[in-house]
Amino acid sequence: MKRNSRFKLFIVLISLTFLCGCWNIKEINHRTTPLYIGVSKENDDEYIVTMYVPVTQSGESESIIATKKGDTLSNIFRQLRTDSDSALDYSHVQLIVIQEKLAENEEEMTKLIRLSMAVEQLPSQALVVITDDDIKKMFSNIDKLLGTHGTYVQEFFYKEEWAPEVSSTHIWELYRSLYSYTEDINVPIITIDKDTGIGFKGTAIFKKGKLTGRVNPKENLLLNLFHHDNAKGEIESLGSSGVIVLNSSLYMTPSMKKNEPLVSCDLKIKIDVIERNDGVTDKQIQGEFKELIEKQFYKIFTQTQENKADVFGFGQYFRNQLSYQELKKWRDEYYPKLKVNFQVHVSMK
Amino acid sequence: MTQRVQMALLVCVASGGFVYLLYPRLVTSSTDSGHWVMVLFQGLLQIFFMLIYKKGLDYFPDKDLIDIFRQMGKWVAFIILVPYAFILTSMVGFGLRAHSEEIIAILRMSRTPYWAVLAFLVFISAFTAIKGLGTMLRASVIVFIITNLLIMFNTLTVTANFDFYNAFPVWPSSLQFLWDTNFNFLTGFSPLLFLGFVPSENNMKYSHLFWVWTYVTFIILLSVYIPLFIFGQETVVKLHYLVEEAVDTVDMRWFIFSRQTIFFGMSLIAFTIFLNALLLWKAGQLMQKTFNWKKNKRSYSIIAFSSLAFLMGLYVPNQYMIEKSVELSTGIHALLIVIIPLIIFIYGVINRRRMAVYEKK
Amino acid sequence: MGNLVQEIKSKFANHDDFFIHEERFNHTAIFLMGYKTLINFTKSKLYVRQMAELSASVDELFINLSDQLDVKAEQLISAIIEGKLVVISEKNRNAIMETVPQTLSRSIEEPKNENPLQGPFDAFGEDVDMNIGLLRKRLNTDRLYHCSYQVGELEKRRISILYIKGKTPSALIEKIIRKLKQIETDIESLEDLNKHFGYRKFIPVSHLFVTEIPIQAVQSLKKSRVVLFLDNYPSALVFPHLFWDMFVTENDRNFPFLLSFMVRSLRVIGALATLILPGLYVALTSVNPDLLRIDLALFVAESREGIPLTPLIETLTMLVLVDLTIEAIVRLPKSIGSTITMVGGIILGQAMVEAKLVSQLLVIVIAAMVIAASTIVGVQNSLYIRSLKYFILFAASIFGILGLFTGLLFICILLASLTTFDIPYMAFRFPEKGDSQ
């Protein structure tokens, strides 16, 4: 009797080993893991999805760039799944490239963002970018120049003080901006660069999935400042001199008077002059620099205020001063009335 | 490490299992601003019942809940305690089902069927419950340390994505939620009744209770505010697994894992197993002591209850039903949390009076 | 020749190493008898002769020789079996004499299974009295109590119990003594003794912690534990066995606190790594590869490219192979052992990688695991940690990271459920203060 039960236990344990083959466990080398996904739209109803998949073969690195057309995105993804040489696994997607034509369509864009958040496998910290160029060409350009390089995109977008004007946008941030009452978002625009793979061409401003404007990299730096980034390392060339930013900090004091929101921003910047024409004094450089930044700010601000897109996130500072119901009306009622008193204080090293 | 401290830690761990399940979702869906007020009111409600319960139990220093009910009368014990055991079982079943779905989502095991995960969790919980309270108490010390390290790690890394303005407005627009049924469900998310399962003289003291309450409230605040700080109220209501989505936003370029949700998942697993082991043990204890069974029969009843819980969890058809059934079972549990402490307290007072009169004579 | 001598002689007729030597003293014949194999005969004879020269009469000689005079025949026989010299005179006077024994046990040597770094280098031997002597030398207090019991059916084995009165709870000692008195079967191995403290069928954790270093035993005594000695077993058995014995040796205390803390945490990491690493490899390569960071994932995928075995089978093969190698090294004489290490470790591992049977990463993982497993204190502890990793491996191969973590929790719960006479295995230190004197 006792021996019998022991024998049964043994059988159960042995059968456990076979259980491991259940529910189609796929080994890491039998998965197709796309790194970049490109979505574009041709004509009117046809989507094109392009995928960049690294192929791991010991010794050499190769990659596949697959393209599929179809009338709905989920159809294409299903098609890709069927035709892929092994199990398709989206969990390593680093970058989603959206073609500008598609991005300009508010409805499509919203749908796309919702879809990418809803797909469980897709990591919500993947980056989203917009491009004017042909996506397939872009991927093959990256592949030609850099080979299979898992972290290329990450390194490109997180250069921090080596290039403070570059910004990045994750899927979850885009998703948040779809619903947020008080903050809009900017999405990086990239192009093909023959020498380095991709190039940064500023950002596009989205108001709840609607593309409302573009800013160039220099202006984007200002936007970054408002999102708690530091301008440290930025090199600015003024007409008569070149300066490098050593440190920067932004102070905001929001106030509300009779339903008229007012923000006074103080940007403190410490700069160092790296080249200057003869006879230019420090004071002149400071003045020039101050003027330049203030001009840049007001240009973007008036533009976004017209579009009712609060890309600076000023609304966030009023969340505590308005009730939740009032916040709903932030973009339409309060933001157009917002006055910003933007002042730059430049100091030299 | 005295037994009292171990018990406090066990209750903390078990509360974690309750909190992360549906708590943040219920809180964010019932109020759109000033969530902490709701959490605070909820906490006050709990500490109120906890104190009444403790006070009531203190009238019977060497007896536990079941002994007291048996003292009241065999039928009273039967009518209240046997359904209680079944409510606990349903909580285990539905709760584990919800947890296993969430764990599958967190660990991205989309191809693993939920019944396998459910069976695994039920097995481990039942095993722990059979091993008894002593085992749970000892293991809870290690688990408490591990889970808190994981939670700390999660919280610290998640702060990178915090935007504190997202949690504003600070003050609630109205206190309407106090009359919301959801608010009452929240009371059920508490292992408070566990207090009664250990005789009062070996049980936690008031100071321990206070620390447990503080810890649990803190954990609740974390679980509610982490998603809020990241997404803001507008987005949070659109998401399903709030904390998981919030933790998933962290980009961990410096680590070997790409997602730190696995750490959240790990702490959730530990919480779940201990919570359900505790619930099953309580159910087993209830049956054994109410019917005066022998000790070894308890493990049979635990096995029976866990199989029942497994079947319950297995046959819930869809996500919506899971949520509904979890809410229902915790709702009834909330009712018990109100009823049992009050009965014990009132009976304790009456008993004391009677004794006093008896002594005078 | 007296009939007593005849009786004993007939009893030991089939024992070739039994001797009867006849001496003459004062015209009386006295017979010395015993085992040649247990008694140093030449020296004993010399001793008796010297005694004889000092004594005036046979009676005086007997008194000089021993305290145990004129005992019964059965006692004489058992004394002979125990290795004592029995002296019988013609007139049927007899005496049991403690004599010079044959040296059958080794002298105090260095520990063979443990390796104290910069600590005292003496180790327990097979002789119980010598072992207890080693303890008494280090712990010279009158509160060190010692009692011995003879247990067994076919042969009586001596078990000595040592404890410090006033530290060890007397209830515990009573329980141990009661258990020992109940033993009726032969104690042939540690496991036989272990069973009597509570049978654990499927759990590889013993009730007794084996150590061969005296300071370890002394410190255990001071921490109010009990030390048992089994005769002819060259180690002290510390009772009860606690979880932290796996990570803590007494010798650590010779280092500054920070260093000893570091050493101990390394051991904890070692135990964890042994449990986790194989399971983690399987989980990350087969069930949850999406959790790895992208460049790591690509690296792992590349290293697994073209390998026909599934991760579980691959890992199992390597684990069994490595455990076989370790077992083989133990079996073989020391001179050949190193060769096996080389063949097993280097050549086989290299060949398997070259043949693309297992991935390079796995070889690294396995090597790390073997090294990690060796940091644990105590051979038995190391073995049981190594055996538990298989459970985690299977759980991880089915449920991935979930299985891995749950397996770890399961082991934690399992260990927490163990108790020895109501003392939990997971107790940090021995909790109760003993009753004062």
Among A320-334, B274-288, C379-393, the range scoring the smallest mean pLDDT is A320-334
Q: If interface means Cβ-Cβ distance under 8 Å, which residues of chain A face chain C? A: 16-17, 19-22, 25-29, 31, 33, 35, 54, 56-58, 89, 91-92, 94, 121, 148, 150-151
C398 in contact with B, Cβ within 8 Å: yes
Q: Which residues of C touch B139 (CB under 8 A)?
A: 409, 412-413, 416-417, 426
Mutate which: C282, C284, C286, C302, vs A, most A CBs within 10 A: C302
C227 and C267 in a single domain? The answer is: no
* Residues A80-115: tens digit of each pLDDT: 888 777 778 888 888 888 888 888 888 888 888 888
Cross-chain residue pair C398–A22, CB shorter than 8 Å: yes
Q: Please, what is the average pLDDT of chain C?
A: 81
The domain segmentation of chain A, as residue ranges, is 28-215, 230-349
A341, A262 contact by CB (below 8 A) = yes
C372, C273 contact by CB (below 8 A) = yes
Cross-chain residue pair A324–B33, CB shorter than 8 Å: yes
B315 in contact with C, Cβ within 8 Å: no
Cross-chain residue pair C405–B269, CB shorter than 8 Å: yes
φ/ψ of residue B9, rounded to 5 = -65, -40
B262 in contact with C, Cβ within 8 Å: yes
Distance CA A209, CA A104 (A): 9
Number of domains in chain C: 3
What's the confidence (pLDDT) of residue A6?
A: 59
Which residue among A123, A320, A324 places its CB closest to the CB of B258? A123
Cross-chain residue pair B112–A23, CB shorter than 8 Å: yes
Chain C residue whose CA is closest to B100: C402
- Among the listed residues C192, C268, C275, the one whose alpha carbon sits nearest the alpha carbon of residue C228: C192
Against chain A, the chains showing at least 3 CB pairs within 8 Å are B, C
Against chain C, the chains showing at least 3 CB pairs within 8 Å are A, B
- Among the listed residues C269, C282, C222, C235, the one whose alpha carbon sits nearest the alpha carbon of residue C379: C235
What's the confidence (pLDDT) of residue A23?
A: 60
Residue C148 lies in a domain: yes
Q: So what's the ipTM on this one?
A: 0.89
What's the confidence (pLDDT) of residue A7?
A: 63
What are C342's two structure tokens? 């080389």
Cross-chain residue pair A58–C305, CB shorter than 8 Å: yes
**What CATH number labels A230-349?**
3.30.300.210
Distances (CA, A) of A128 to A12, A96, A137, A299, B32: 49, 5, 18, 26, 29
For chains B and C, CB pairs below 8 A equal 93
pLDDT top residue among C430 and C375: C375
Residue C114 lies in a domain: no
Cross-chain residue pair B108–C291, CB shorter than 8 Å: yes
Cross-chain residue pair B165–A91, CB shorter than 8 Å: no
User: By residue range, what is the domain housing residue C23?
Assistant: 3-97
A270, A309 contact by CB (below 8 A) = no
Distance CA A304, CA A207 (A): 10
Distance CA B227, CA B167 (A): 9
C299 and C360 in a single domain? The answer is: yes
* Residues C83-97: tens digit of each pLDDT: 788 888 777 777 777
C259 and C320 in a single domain? The answer is: yes
φ/ψ of residue C272, rounded to 5 = -65, -45
Distance CA C411, CA C272 (A): 11
* Residues C46-74: tens digit of each pLDDT: 887 887 777 777 777 777 777 777 777 77
The most distant pair of C-alpha atoms in chain B lies apart, rounded to whole Å, by: 78
Residue C246 lies in a domain: no
User: Which of C194, C217, C240 delimits the end of a domain?
Assistant: C240
* Residues A259-299: tens digit of each pLDDT: 788 888 888 888 888 887 777 788 888 888 888 888 888 88
pLDDT, average across residues A57-83: 77
Q: Is the pLDDT of residue C425 over 70?
A: yes
| pLDDT class of B208 with cuts at 50, 70, 90 | confident
What's the confidence (pLDDT) of residue C435?
A: 40
Cross-chain residue pair B251–A23, CB shorter than 8 Å: no
Q: Which residues of C touch A22 (CB under 8 A)?
A: 398
* Residues B61-89: tens digit of each pLDDT: 888 888 888 888 888 888 888 888 888 88
C428 in contact with B, Cβ within 8 Å: yes
B298 in contact with A, Cβ within 8 Å: no
- Among the listed residues C375, C381, C374, the one whose alpha carbon sits nearest the alpha carbon of residue C208: C381
H or E element at residue B289: helix B261-290
C184 and C282 in a single domain? The answer is: no
Which residue among C287, C410, C424 places its CB closest to the CB of B124? C410
B216: CB partners within 8 A, 6+ apart: B11, B12, B15, B19, B43, B46, B190
A281, A269 contact by CB (below 8 A) = no
Distance from CA of A194 to the nearest CA of C (A): 24
DSSP state of B190: -
* Residues B266-303: tens digit of each pLDDT: 888 899 899 899 888 888 888 888 887 777 777 788 88
Distance CA B284, CA B306 (A): 10
Rounded (to 5) percent helix, strand, coil in chain B: 80, 0, 20
C270 and C392 in a single domain? The answer is: yes
Mutate which: C281, C284, C290, vs A, most A CBs within 10 A: C290
Q: Between B3-30 and B133-158, two packed helices, what is the crossing angle to 10 degrees?
A: 50
Cross-chain residue pair C310–A27, CB shorter than 8 Å: yes
What domains sit in chain B, N to C, each tagged with a CATH number? 3-360 (1.10.4160.10)
For chains A and C, CB pairs below 8 A equal 69
| pLDDT class of C201 with cuts at 50, 70, 90 | confident
Distance CA C377, CA C55 (A): 57
Q: Is the pLDDT of residue C247 over 70?
A: yes
Distances (CA, A) of C202 to B61, C27, C205, C272, C384: 39, 69, 9, 21, 11
Cross-chain residue pair C294–B258, CB shorter than 8 Å: yes
The C-alpha torsion from B96 through B102 and B108 to B112, rounded to 10°, is 30
What's the confidence (pLDDT) of residue B351?
A: 84
Distance CA A259, CA C328 (A): 84
What are C349's two structure tokens? 């591992």
| pLDDT class of A22 with cuts at 50, 70, 90 | low
Within 10 angstroms of residue B288's Cβ, the number of other Cβ atoms is: 21
* Residues B299-331: tens digit of each pLDDT: 788 888 888 888 888 888 888 888 888 888 888
C275 and C224 in a single domain? The answer is: no
Q: Is the pLDDT of residue A172 over 50?
A: yes
Q: Could you give the count of Cα atoms lying within 13 Å of A286 in the half-sphere of its Cβ?
A: 13
Distances (CA, A) of C89 to A75, C61, C79: 111, 11, 17
Cross-chain residue pair B120–C403, CB shorter than 8 Å: yes
Mutate which: A116, A156, A170, A176, vs B, most B CBs within 10 A: A176
Judged by DSSP in three states, C35 sits in strand
Q: Please, what is the average pLDDT of chain A?
A: 80
Cross-chain residue pair C310–A16, CB shorter than 8 Å: no
C135, C218 contact by CB (below 8 A) = yes
Chain B residue whose CA is closest to A25: B111
Residue C176 lies in a domain: yes
Taken in order B12, B13, B14, B18, is the CA torsion positive or negative? positive
Distance CA A177, CA A66 (A): 31
Cross-chain residue pair A181–B234, CB shorter than 8 Å: yes
What's the confidence (pLDDT) of residue A2?
A: 46
What's the confidence (pLDDT) of residue C434?
A: 41
Cross-chain residue pair C405–B270, CB shorter than 8 Å: yes
Residue C177 lies in a domain: yes
Judged by DSSP in three states, A121 sits in coil
Kindly state the percentage of chain B with pLDDT values over 70.
99
Cross-chain residue pair B109–C426, CB shorter than 8 Å: no
pLDDT, average across residues B103-123: 82
pLDDT, average across residues C407-411: 90
Whether this model's pTM surpasses 0.90? no
Q: Which residues of C touch B3 (CB under 8 A)?
A: none
Cross-chain residue pair A58–C311, CB shorter than 8 Å: no
Q: Which residues of A touch C358 (CB under 8 A)?
A: none
| pLDDT class of A1 with cuts at 50, 70, 90 | very low
pLDDT, average across residues C326-342: 79
Q: Is the pLDDT of residue B236 over 60?
A: yes
A150, C295 contact by CB (below 8 A) = yes
pLDDT, average across residues A115-137: 85
What's the confidence (pLDDT) of residue A15?
A: 60
C429 in contact with B, Cβ within 8 Å: no
Residue C70 lies in a domain: yes
Residue indicated by tokens 């007072």? B349
Distance CA B337, CA B46 (A): 9
Q: Which residues of A touch C305 (CB under 8 A)?
A: 29, 56-58
Which residue among B136, B143, B258 places its CB closest to the CB of C292? B258
Chain C residue whose CA is closest to A94: C294
Distances (CA, A) of C7 to A271, C12, C24: 114, 9, 21
What's the confidence (pLDDT) of residue C339?
A: 78
Residue C102 lies in a domain: no
